[in-house]
Structure 1
Amino acid sequence: IEVIIAGGLVRNRDRGVIGEATIDFISQFKVDFGVIGISGIENDGSLLDFDYREVRVSEAIIKHSRKVLLVADHSKFNRNALVRLGDLSQIHALFTDQPVPSDLQPILASLDTEVHLTTSDA
Protein backbone atom coordinates (compact mmCIF):
# COMPACT_ATOMS: atom_id res chain seq x y z
CA ILE A 1 0.00 0.00 0.00
CA GLU A 2 1.25 3.45 -0.92
CA VAL A 3 -0.09 6.51 0.90
CA ILE A 4 0.08 9.91 -0.77
CA ILE A 5 -0.70 12.98 1.34
CA ALA A 6 -2.46 16.04 -0.11
CA GLY A 7 -1.18 19.53 0.56
CA GLY A 8 -3.32 22.53 1.38
CA LEU A 9 -4.49 24.61 4.31
CA VAL A 10 -4.33 22.75 7.64
CA ARG A 11 -7.30 23.57 9.87
CA ASN A 12 -6.12 24.10 13.47
CA ARG A 13 -9.29 22.68 15.03
CA ASP A 14 -8.88 19.13 13.75
CA ARG A 15 -5.81 19.15 11.48
CA GLY A 16 -8.01 18.57 8.42
CA VAL A 17 -6.46 19.57 5.10
CA ILE A 18 -8.73 21.80 3.01
CA GLY A 19 -8.66 24.37 0.22
CA GLU A 20 -8.11 24.67 -3.50
CA ALA A 21 -4.60 23.17 -3.36
CA THR A 22 -6.08 20.06 -1.75
CA ILE A 23 -8.81 19.79 -4.38
CA ASP A 24 -6.29 20.28 -7.21
CA PHE A 25 -4.10 17.54 -5.74
CA ILE A 26 -6.97 15.05 -5.37
CA SER A 27 -8.13 15.78 -8.93
CA GLN A 28 -4.89 14.32 -10.32
CA PHE A 29 -5.81 10.79 -9.25
CA LYS A 30 -8.42 8.05 -9.67
CA VAL A 31 -8.19 5.86 -6.56
CA ASP A 32 -9.78 2.52 -5.71
CA PHE A 33 -10.99 3.67 -2.29
CA GLY A 34 -11.74 7.18 -1.07
CA VAL A 35 -12.35 7.66 2.64
CA ILE A 36 -14.46 10.56 3.89
CA GLY A 37 -15.95 11.68 7.18
CA ILE A 38 -19.06 13.77 7.74
CA SER A 39 -20.55 15.95 10.49
CA GLY A 40 -24.10 14.70 10.17
CA ILE A 41 -26.36 12.18 8.44
CA GLU A 42 -30.02 13.23 8.42
CA ASN A 43 -32.77 10.63 8.63
CA ASP A 44 -33.47 11.07 4.88
CA GLY A 45 -29.89 10.01 4.08
CA SER A 46 -28.49 13.50 3.44
CA LEU A 47 -24.78 13.90 4.20
CA LEU A 48 -24.07 17.21 5.92
CA ASP A 49 -21.08 19.18 7.19
CA PHE A 50 -20.40 22.49 8.90
CA ASP A 51 -17.53 23.65 6.67
CA TYR A 52 -18.16 24.24 2.96
CA ARG A 53 -14.41 23.87 2.33
CA GLU A 54 -14.51 20.38 3.81
CA VAL A 55 -17.49 19.55 1.60
CA ARG A 56 -15.57 20.64 -1.52
CA VAL A 57 -12.69 18.33 -0.58
CA SER A 58 -15.12 15.45 0.06
CA GLU A 59 -16.80 16.11 -3.30
CA ALA A 60 -13.41 15.80 -5.00
CA ILE A 61 -12.68 12.56 -3.16
CA ILE A 62 -16.05 11.11 -4.22
CA LYS A 63 -15.57 12.17 -7.84
CA HIS A 64 -12.10 10.62 -8.07
CA SER A 65 -12.77 7.34 -6.22
CA ARG A 66 -14.06 4.07 -7.58
CA LYS A 67 -15.56 3.24 -4.17
CA VAL A 68 -16.35 5.66 -1.36
CA LEU A 69 -16.03 4.63 2.29
CA LEU A 70 -17.78 6.78 4.89
CA VAL A 71 -16.48 6.75 8.46
CA ALA A 72 -19.02 8.15 10.94
CA ASP A 73 -19.44 7.42 14.63
CA HIS A 74 -22.91 7.11 16.17
CA SER A 75 -23.06 10.82 17.12
CA LYS A 76 -23.33 11.74 13.42
CA PHE A 77 -26.67 9.96 12.90
CA ASN A 78 -29.72 12.25 12.72
CA ARG A 79 -27.49 15.28 13.27
CA ASN A 80 -28.08 18.51 11.38
CA ALA A 81 -25.39 20.66 9.78
CA LEU A 82 -25.43 23.61 7.41
CA VAL A 83 -23.74 22.40 4.20
CA ARG A 84 -25.06 19.49 2.11
CA LEU A 85 -22.47 17.16 0.57
CA GLY A 86 -24.88 14.70 -1.02
CA ASP A 87 -26.63 11.56 0.14
CA LEU A 88 -26.02 7.94 1.04
CA SER A 89 -26.42 6.83 -2.58
CA GLN A 90 -22.86 8.09 -3.15
CA ILE A 91 -21.44 5.78 -0.48
CA HIS A 92 -20.40 2.15 -1.02
CA ALA A 93 -19.63 1.28 2.61
CA LEU A 94 -20.28 2.83 6.02
CA PHE A 95 -17.99 2.21 8.99
CA THR A 96 -19.49 3.09 12.38
CA ASP A 97 -19.23 2.21 16.05
CA GLN A 98 -22.88 1.42 16.86
CA PRO A 99 -25.84 -0.04 14.97
CA VAL A 100 -27.40 2.30 12.42
CA PRO A 101 -30.67 3.92 13.58
CA SER A 102 -33.82 2.20 12.33
CA ASP A 103 -34.87 5.13 10.12
CA LEU A 104 -31.64 4.88 8.09
CA GLN A 105 -31.54 1.07 7.79
CA PRO A 106 -34.07 0.83 4.91
CA ILE A 107 -32.20 3.51 2.94
CA LEU A 108 -28.88 1.71 3.30
CA ALA A 109 -30.49 -1.66 2.49
CA SER A 110 -32.15 -0.32 -0.67
CA LEU A 111 -28.78 1.01 -1.84
CA ASP A 112 -26.90 -2.22 -0.99
CA THR A 113 -24.51 -0.13 1.11
CA GLU A 114 -22.22 -2.29 3.23
CA VAL A 115 -22.37 -1.43 6.94
CA HIS A 116 -19.39 -2.36 9.12
CA LEU A 117 -19.52 -2.09 12.91
CA THR A 118 -16.14 -1.34 14.40
CA THR A 119 -14.85 -2.27 17.82
CA SER A 120 -12.54 -0.39 20.12
CA ASP A 121 -9.60 -2.13 21.69
CA ALA A 122 -8.70 0.92 23.78
Structure 2
Amino acid sequence: MMRSLERHAVILGLLRQQEHVTIEAMAAACDASLQTIRRDLNQLGEDGRVVRYHGGARLADHARSATYEVRSASHVREKVAAGQLLARFIPDGATLFIAGGSTLALAAQELRACEGLTIVTNNLHAAVTLYDKTGFDVCVLGGTMRPASGSMIGEEAVRMIERYSLDFAVIGTCGISPDGALLEYDQSLVPPLLAMISNARRTVLVADGSKFGAKGIVRAAPLSAVNHFVTDRAPEGRAADLLARTGVKVHHPANPNLSSQDAAADGRE
Protein backbone atom coordinates (compact mmCIF):
# COMPACT_ATOMS: atom_id res chain seq x y z
CA MET A 1 0.00 0.00 0.00
CA MET A 2 1.33 3.43 -0.95
CA ARG A 3 2.01 6.00 1.75
CA SER A 4 0.66 9.53 1.42
CA LEU A 5 3.91 10.93 0.02
CA GLU A 6 3.90 8.30 -2.71
CA ARG A 7 0.22 8.86 -3.53
CA HIS A 8 0.76 12.61 -3.74
CA ALA A 9 3.58 12.05 -6.22
CA VAL A 10 1.38 9.84 -8.41
CA ILE A 11 -1.57 12.26 -8.24
CA LEU A 12 0.58 15.25 -9.21
CA GLY A 13 2.10 13.25 -12.04
CA LEU A 14 -1.34 12.38 -13.41
CA LEU A 15 -2.42 16.01 -13.23
CA ARG A 16 0.65 17.07 -15.19
CA GLN A 17 -0.21 14.60 -17.93
CA GLN A 18 -3.92 15.50 -18.11
CA GLU A 19 -5.65 18.81 -17.49
CA HIS A 20 -8.37 17.20 -15.36
CA VAL A 21 -8.35 13.83 -13.59
CA THR A 22 -11.24 12.13 -11.83
CA ILE A 23 -11.02 10.84 -8.28
CA GLU A 24 -11.77 7.35 -9.61
CA ALA A 25 -8.77 7.48 -11.96
CA MET A 26 -6.51 8.66 -9.15
CA ALA A 27 -7.76 5.90 -6.86
CA ALA A 28 -7.05 3.28 -9.51
CA ALA A 29 -3.55 4.61 -10.15
CA CYS A 30 -2.75 4.62 -6.43
CA ASP A 31 -4.63 1.40 -5.60
CA ALA A 32 -6.43 3.37 -2.89
CA SER A 33 -9.99 4.09 -1.81
CA LEU A 34 -11.95 7.12 -2.99
CA GLN A 35 -12.05 8.39 0.60
CA THR A 36 -8.25 8.21 0.83
CA ILE A 37 -7.84 10.13 -2.43
CA ARG A 38 -10.28 12.80 -1.24
CA ARG A 39 -8.15 13.28 1.89
CA ASP A 40 -5.04 13.50 -0.28
CA LEU A 41 -6.67 16.11 -2.50
CA ASN A 42 -7.74 18.11 0.53
CA GLN A 43 -4.12 18.17 1.71
CA LEU A 44 -2.77 19.05 -1.73
CA GLY A 45 -5.42 21.76 -2.01
CA GLU A 46 -4.41 23.25 1.33
CA ASP A 47 -0.81 23.26 0.11
CA GLY A 48 -1.90 25.17 -3.00
CA ARG A 49 -0.79 22.49 -5.43
CA VAL A 50 -4.19 21.38 -6.80
CA VAL A 51 -7.63 22.87 -7.34
CA ARG A 52 -10.58 20.65 -6.38
CA TYR A 53 -13.79 20.38 -8.37
CA HIS A 54 -16.74 18.01 -8.09
CA GLY A 55 -15.50 14.51 -8.88
CA GLY A 56 -11.88 15.38 -9.52
CA ALA A 57 -9.11 17.97 -9.54
CA ARG A 58 -6.68 19.90 -11.70
CA LEU A 59 -3.19 21.18 -11.09
CA ALA A 60 -2.92 24.69 -9.65
CA ASP A 61 -1.71 27.10 -12.29
CA HIS A 62 1.43 28.20 -10.44
CA ALA A 63 2.52 24.58 -9.95
CA ARG A 64 2.59 23.67 -13.63
CA SER A 65 6.11 24.97 -14.13
CA ALA A 66 7.58 22.91 -11.29
CA THR A 67 9.75 19.94 -12.21
CA TYR A 68 10.24 18.10 -8.90
CA GLU A 69 6.74 16.62 -8.92
CA VAL A 70 7.23 15.33 -12.46
CA ARG A 71 10.35 13.43 -11.47
CA SER A 72 8.92 12.23 -8.17
CA ALA A 73 5.86 10.81 -9.96
CA SER A 74 7.91 8.60 -12.29
CA HIS A 75 8.78 5.00 -11.40
CA VAL A 76 7.30 5.42 -7.90
CA ARG A 77 6.89 1.71 -7.17
CA GLU A 78 10.45 1.02 -8.29
CA LYS A 79 11.83 3.83 -6.14
CA VAL A 80 9.86 2.59 -3.14
CA ALA A 81 11.21 -0.95 -3.66
CA ALA A 82 14.77 0.39 -3.65
CA GLY A 83 14.01 2.50 -0.57
CA GLN A 84 12.64 -0.50 1.31
CA LEU A 85 15.82 -2.43 0.58
CA LEU A 86 17.92 0.54 1.72
CA ALA A 87 16.12 0.46 5.08
CA ARG A 88 17.08 -3.22 5.43
CA PHE A 89 20.66 -2.42 4.46
CA ILE A 90 21.35 0.55 6.77
CA PRO A 91 22.08 -0.73 10.30
CA ASP A 92 20.47 0.76 13.39
CA GLY A 93 22.66 3.43 14.94
CA ALA A 94 24.38 4.33 11.66
CA THR A 95 25.39 7.84 10.65
CA LEU A 96 24.64 8.93 7.11
CA PHE A 97 24.40 11.73 4.63
CA ILE A 98 21.25 11.80 2.49
CA ALA A 99 21.64 13.71 -0.76
CA GLY A 100 18.92 15.50 -2.71
CA GLY A 101 16.42 14.06 -5.15
CA SER A 102 12.99 12.50 -5.34
CA THR A 103 14.24 8.91 -5.00
CA LEU A 104 15.88 9.66 -1.66
CA ALA A 105 12.85 11.63 -0.49
CA LEU A 106 10.79 8.46 -0.93
CA ALA A 107 13.56 6.32 0.57
CA ALA A 108 13.53 8.53 3.67
CA GLN A 109 10.02 7.32 4.45
CA GLU A 110 11.31 3.74 4.48
CA LEU A 111 14.24 4.67 6.75
CA ARG A 112 11.73 5.42 9.50
CA ALA A 113 11.74 1.65 10.08
CA CYS A 114 15.33 1.96 11.35
CA GLU A 115 16.35 2.99 14.85
CA GLY A 116 18.85 5.49 16.20
CA LEU A 117 20.05 7.00 12.93
CA THR A 118 22.05 10.22 12.74
CA ILE A 119 21.26 11.93 9.44
CA VAL A 120 22.83 14.96 7.77
CA THR A 121 20.94 16.05 4.68
CA ASN A 122 20.44 18.81 2.15
CA ASN A 123 17.20 17.12 1.01
CA LEU A 124 14.35 19.17 2.49
CA HIS A 125 11.70 16.63 1.48
CA ALA A 126 13.63 13.88 3.28
CA ALA A 127 14.12 16.10 6.34
CA VAL A 128 10.38 16.78 6.61
CA THR A 129 9.74 13.04 6.43
CA LEU A 130 12.28 12.20 9.14
CA TYR A 131 12.31 15.11 11.59
CA ASP A 132 9.74 13.70 14.03
CA LYS A 133 11.03 10.12 14.16
CA THR A 134 11.81 9.35 17.81
CA GLY A 135 15.46 8.46 18.31
CA PHE A 136 16.68 10.10 15.08
CA ASP A 137 19.12 13.01 15.08
CA VAL A 138 18.50 15.00 11.89
CA CYS A 139 20.69 17.91 10.77
CA VAL A 140 19.49 19.99 7.82
CA LEU A 141 22.29 21.72 5.93
CA GLY A 142 22.25 25.45 5.37
CA GLY A 143 22.89 27.20 2.10
CA THR A 144 20.77 28.30 -0.85
CA MET A 145 17.57 26.43 -1.60
CA ARG A 146 17.14 25.01 -5.10
CA PRO A 147 13.33 24.79 -5.53
CA ALA A 148 13.53 22.48 -8.54
CA SER A 149 14.90 19.68 -6.35
CA GLY A 150 14.11 20.82 -2.80
CA SER A 151 17.85 20.74 -2.05
CA MET A 152 20.18 23.07 -0.17
CA ILE A 153 23.20 23.95 -2.29
CA GLY A 154 26.12 26.39 -2.30
CA GLU A 155 29.34 26.95 -0.38
CA GLU A 156 27.68 26.98 3.05
CA ALA A 157 26.16 23.53 2.45
CA VAL A 158 29.56 22.17 1.41
CA ARG A 159 31.30 23.71 4.44
CA MET A 160 28.78 22.08 6.78
CA ILE A 161 29.22 18.68 5.10
CA GLU A 162 32.99 18.92 5.57
CA ARG A 163 32.55 19.16 9.35
CA TYR A 164 31.30 15.55 9.47
CA SER A 165 32.78 12.08 9.09
CA LEU A 166 29.92 9.61 8.70
CA ASP A 167 29.40 5.92 7.96
CA PHE A 168 27.48 6.28 4.69
CA ALA A 169 26.80 8.78 1.93
CA VAL A 170 23.40 7.84 0.48
CA ILE A 171 23.18 9.42 -2.95
CA GLY A 172 20.99 9.33 -6.04
CA THR A 173 21.50 10.20 -9.69
CA CYS A 174 19.58 11.45 -12.71
CA GLY A 175 21.25 8.83 -14.86
CA ILE A 176 24.26 6.60 -15.38
CA SER A 177 26.15 7.05 -18.63
CA PRO A 178 27.46 4.08 -20.63
CA ASP A 179 31.01 4.88 -19.50
CA GLY A 180 30.03 4.89 -15.82
CA ALA A 181 29.47 8.54 -14.92
CA LEU A 182 26.76 9.56 -12.49
CA LEU A 183 24.86 12.39 -14.16
CA GLU A 184 22.93 15.43 -12.96
CA TYR A 185 20.92 18.15 -14.70
CA ASP A 186 22.44 21.04 -12.75
CA GLN A 187 26.08 21.79 -11.91
CA SER A 188 25.03 23.34 -8.57
CA LEU A 189 24.08 19.90 -7.25
CA VAL A 190 27.54 18.44 -7.74
CA PRO A 191 29.68 20.09 -4.98
CA PRO A 192 27.44 18.91 -2.07
CA LEU A 193 27.29 15.43 -3.60
CA LEU A 194 31.07 15.17 -3.94
CA ALA A 195 31.55 16.51 -0.40
CA MET A 196 29.25 13.80 0.98
CA ILE A 197 31.18 11.10 -0.87
CA SER A 198 34.51 12.48 0.40
CA ASN A 199 33.35 12.64 4.02
CA ALA A 200 31.74 9.19 4.29
CA ARG A 201 33.41 5.84 4.75
CA ARG A 202 31.11 4.16 2.22
CA THR A 203 28.90 5.47 -0.58
CA VAL A 204 25.51 3.91 -1.32
CA LEU A 205 23.81 4.74 -4.62
CA VAL A 206 20.01 4.32 -4.54
CA ALA A 207 18.40 4.31 -7.99
CA ASP A 208 15.79 2.38 -9.92
CA GLY A 209 16.80 0.43 -13.01
CA SER A 210 15.59 3.13 -15.40
CA LYS A 211 18.58 5.31 -14.51
CA PHE A 212 20.93 3.40 -16.80
CA GLY A 213 21.25 5.51 -19.90
CA ALA A 214 22.62 8.95 -20.61
CA LYS A 215 20.17 11.17 -18.70
CA GLY A 216 21.48 14.45 -17.38
CA ILE A 217 24.14 16.77 -18.75
CA VAL A 218 26.68 17.15 -15.91
CA ARG A 219 29.13 14.46 -14.90
CA ALA A 220 28.88 14.40 -11.12
CA ALA A 221 31.03 11.46 -10.00
CA PRO A 222 32.36 8.19 -11.40
CA LEU A 223 30.48 5.00 -10.63
CA SER A 224 33.76 3.71 -9.23
CA ALA A 225 33.26 6.09 -6.27
CA VAL A 226 30.23 3.99 -5.24
CA ASN A 227 30.60 0.98 -2.94
CA HIS A 228 27.00 -0.26 -2.93
CA PHE A 229 24.20 0.04 -5.46
CA VAL A 230 20.68 -0.46 -4.05
CA THR A 231 18.07 -0.89 -6.77
CA ASP A 232 14.67 -2.40 -7.54
CA ARG A 233 15.74 -5.22 -9.86
CA ALA A 234 18.80 -7.11 -11.02
CA PRO A 235 20.79 -5.14 -13.62
CA GLU A 236 21.14 -6.86 -16.97
CA GLY A 237 23.30 -6.63 -20.07
CA ARG A 238 25.60 -3.63 -20.32
CA ALA A 239 24.46 -2.30 -16.94
CA ALA A 240 25.49 -5.53 -15.22
CA ASP A 241 28.82 -5.56 -17.06
CA LEU A 242 29.50 -1.94 -16.08
CA LEU A 243 28.80 -2.62 -12.40
CA ALA A 244 30.98 -5.72 -12.47
CA ARG A 245 33.91 -3.81 -14.01
CA THR A 246 33.72 -1.08 -11.37
CA GLY A 247 33.43 -3.52 -8.48
CA VAL A 248 30.20 -2.07 -7.09
CA LYS A 249 28.23 -4.43 -4.82
CA VAL A 250 24.69 -4.71 -6.15
CA HIS A 251 21.66 -5.18 -3.86
CA HIS A 252 18.18 -5.84 -5.23
CA PRO A 253 15.09 -7.44 -3.64
CA ALA A 254 15.71 -10.89 -5.14
CA ASN A 255 19.30 -10.89 -3.87
CA PRO A 256 19.91 -8.38 -1.04
CA ASN A 257 23.52 -9.65 -0.92
CA LEU A 258 24.42 -8.05 2.42
CA SER A 259 22.79 -7.88 5.83
CA SER A 260 22.59 -4.74 7.94
CA GLN A 261 25.09 -6.30 10.36
CA ASP A 262 27.59 -6.75 7.54
CA ALA A 263 26.86 -3.22 6.36
CA ALA A 264 27.66 -1.91 9.84
CA ALA A 265 31.05 -3.63 9.78
CA ASP A 266 31.60 -2.47 6.20
CA GLY A 267 30.88 1.14 7.17
CA ARG A 268 33.48 1.03 9.96
CA GLU A 269 36.33 -0.14 7.73
Deviations 1:8-62 (A, max 9, x none): 2222223122111111100111111011111110122111111111111111111
Match of 2:118 in 1: 2
1:19 corresponds, among 154, 157, 171, to 154
Question: What is the CA RMSD across the aligned residues, in angstroms?
Answer: 1.7
| TM-score of the two chains, using structure 1 as the length reference | 0.86
- Corresponding position: 1:115 with 2:244: no
Task: Quote the residue 1:102 is aligned against.
Answer: 237
Q: Is the 8 A contact 1:38 1:76 kept in 2?
A: yes
Partner amino acid, structure 1, of 2:237: S
> Following the alignment from structure 2 to structure 1, what is the Cα–Cα distance between the partners of residues 228 and 235?
13
- Could you tell me which residue of structure 1 aligns to residue 225 of structure 2? 90
| TM-superposed deviation, 1:67 | 0.4
Comparing 99-108 with 80-89, greater Cα deviation is found at: 99-108
- The aligned amino acid for 1:104 is A
Q: CA–CA distance in 1 between the matches of 2:253 and 2:154?
A: 30
State the distance in 2 between where 1:60 and 1:85 align.
11
Q: 1:12 to 1:118 in 2, by over 3 A?
A: farther
2: distance between equivalents of 1:101 and 1:19?
A: 37
Match of 1:58 in 2: 193
Larger Rg: 2
Structure-2 separation of matches of 1:81 and 1:15: 18
Matches of 2:253 and 2:144 in 1, distance apart?
A: 30
Partner of residue 28 from structure 1, selected from 124, 148, 163? 163
Q: Structure 2 length normalisation: TM-score?
A: 0.41
Number of matched pairs: 119
Q: Specify the alignment match of 1:76 in structure 2.
A: 211
More strand by share: 1
Partner of 1:80, secondary structure, is coil
TM-superposed CA distance for 1:118, in Å, is 4.8
Secondary structure (helix, strand or coil) at the match of 1:29 reads: coil
RCO comparison, higher one (Cα < 8 Å, 6+): 1
Corresponding residue for residue 40 of structure 1: 175
Identity %: 34
Higher helix share: 2
3-state DSSP class of the match of 2:118? coil
Stretches of structure 2 lacking an aligned partner (at least 5 in a row): 1-116, 120-138, 255-269
Distance 1:39 1:101 in 2: 19
* Matches of 2:214 and 2:232, distance apart in 1: 16
Q: Is the 8 A contact 1:44 1:104 kept in 2?
A: no
